[in-house]
Structure 1
């Protein structure tokens, strides 16, 4: 993306968006002082941004604490509803979910996370509550590794250096060099399989969705349980269905 000169940018809008992003990480809310410290603002500046969000309905004030309201979810829903790609993708994802009786999801990369943009639930109940808008760490999820696999080496190393990496289960890969190699292998293999790294009892496999220029724009995955599919069975039975669905979804860009 071409970098815009400072004179073309609205600094206050950018800072206001930063404030909203910070609030999004604190669903229980934040005090004025906490926001000022987190956003690098004066108390007066933080107060103006927060009260503006309250006045516009995007935040609510409860005593000394400020928190986002569901109105922001409404914006996200409008964007998703208006994104014809995901409306086009949903029937293809549903075919996969019905055939396997497992959930099928799509996500995009956002900072250090993947954000779910489409999801067809399966018949099996998963302990991880996932829905459109859910954010999960990219480094330990199959869709995250697929989305990261296209990054050039310097950018991938920088991503891993900046990422907040922690061990979520005994299987979680946390060594940055090992993660680099894993993600590089994903680029070669064309898919990522994560075995109980996000949560014990949860396996997932993902493939990329590419636009007409072959750039990865999203990833689609299937999540299952070890009792349902072995790793070998996932590669043998789930992967071909996912690859076919991804190909069908990619035909959207040929229109």
Structure 2
């Protein structure tokens, strides 16, 4: 059924759908949004948008800052509720902890959803790095080693469509914001089998990632080690961390194949 037919069904709650649309507008953008900007993103009237924003703020999912709105920490509970009830965190977390202990660096597992990667599991180290993310956090796929590792091993037509939809913006002076250069980068990642980024998402943060494959050899997630360039030079990440990453990749793929009712694959 198309959207118009669905919306005419008696069970369809239009106000709920519009409220979720407003909330999801914030997952597309990292900065604070005004009422007018949310209205433009969702296609709703400014008056309706304002009512939804105020309701979401009252419920604790948004915060207002200087007449603009940002996601609150409570909004992450929505994604974390799925992850924790699915059993994925419990399955993967001990494996990541072993990787982090081996490398003395932060390790993460993430999936791709639209233009962003979502952290499914993460084991930070006591060593501080600039990037502050947790389970359920979203970051732009094009500026992360996790996103590049997934895109490089996604079926070609799907990857092309995803890349075409990206709004490539220079988040730092080193972000690859040119479409042609980004496509070349993805081809390089596929040829190498791993992705490395340095100061593309946040200045000083470097990481190396490998894809996580399902039993049918389709890509479902990515695993990375992140560090600071002052500790490990980007050109040294392969020699220092690729082998333990590949060993952990094999462990995670084996664990996931043993429990097929769990799924990481909800890209879209």
Question: So what's the TM-score if we normalise by structure 2?
Answer: 0.79
For structure 1, list consecutive stretches of 5 or more residues without a partner in the other structure: none
2:39 counterpart residue number: 36
2: CA distance, partners of 1:133 / 1:21? 14
2: CA distance, partners of 1:14 / 1:150? 33
Query: Cα gap change, 1:231/1:214 in structure 2, threshold over 3 Å: closer, same or farther?
Result: same
1:163 counterpart residue number: 166
CA displacement 1:23-57 (0-9 Å, x = unmatched) = 454775643x5543332123454356446646766
43-52 vs 173-182, which moves further: 43-52
2: CA distance, partners of 1:122 / 1:61? 32
2: CA distance, partners of 1:110 / 1:213? 20
CA displacement 1:223-248 (0-9 Å, x = unmatched) = 12334334453212311101111111
Equivalent residue runs for 1:195-210 within 5 Å: 195-210=198-213
Query: Cα gap change, 1:23/1:30 in structure 2, threshold over 3 Å: closer, same or farther?
Result: farther
1:181 counterpart residue number: 184
Shift, 1:209, TM fit: 1.3
Q: Which secondary structure does the structure 1 equivalent of 2:142 belong to?
A: coil
For the Cα contact (< 8 Å) 1:156–1:180, is it kept in 2? no
33-42 vs 4-13, which moves further: 4-13
1:193 counterpart residue number: 196
For the Cα contact (< 8 Å) 2:56–2:62, is it kept in 1? yes
For the Cα contact (< 8 Å) 2:110–2:146, is it kept in 1? yes
1:127 counterpart residue number: 130
Query: Cα gap change, 1:198/1:42 in structure 2, threshold over 3 Å: closer, same or farther?
Result: closer
Q: Which secondary structure does the structure 2 equivalent of 1:139 belong to?
A: helix
2: CA distance, partners of 1:67 / 1:49? 13
Question: So what's the TM-score if we normalise by structure 1?
Answer: 0.82
Shift, 1:177, TM fit: 1.2
Name the structure, 1 or 2, with higher relative contact order (CA <8 Å, separation 6+): 2
For the Cα contact (< 8 Å) 1:29–1:68, is it kept in 2? no
For the Cα contact (< 8 Å) 2:198–2:206, is it kept in 1? yes
2: CA distance, partners of 1:59 / 1:198? 24
Q: Over aligned residue pairs, what C-alpha RMSD do you find?
A: 3.0
CA displacement 1:153-187 (0-9 Å, x = unmatched) = 44433433332222333332222112112112222
2: CA distance, partners of 1:28 / 1:198? 18
Aligned length: 251
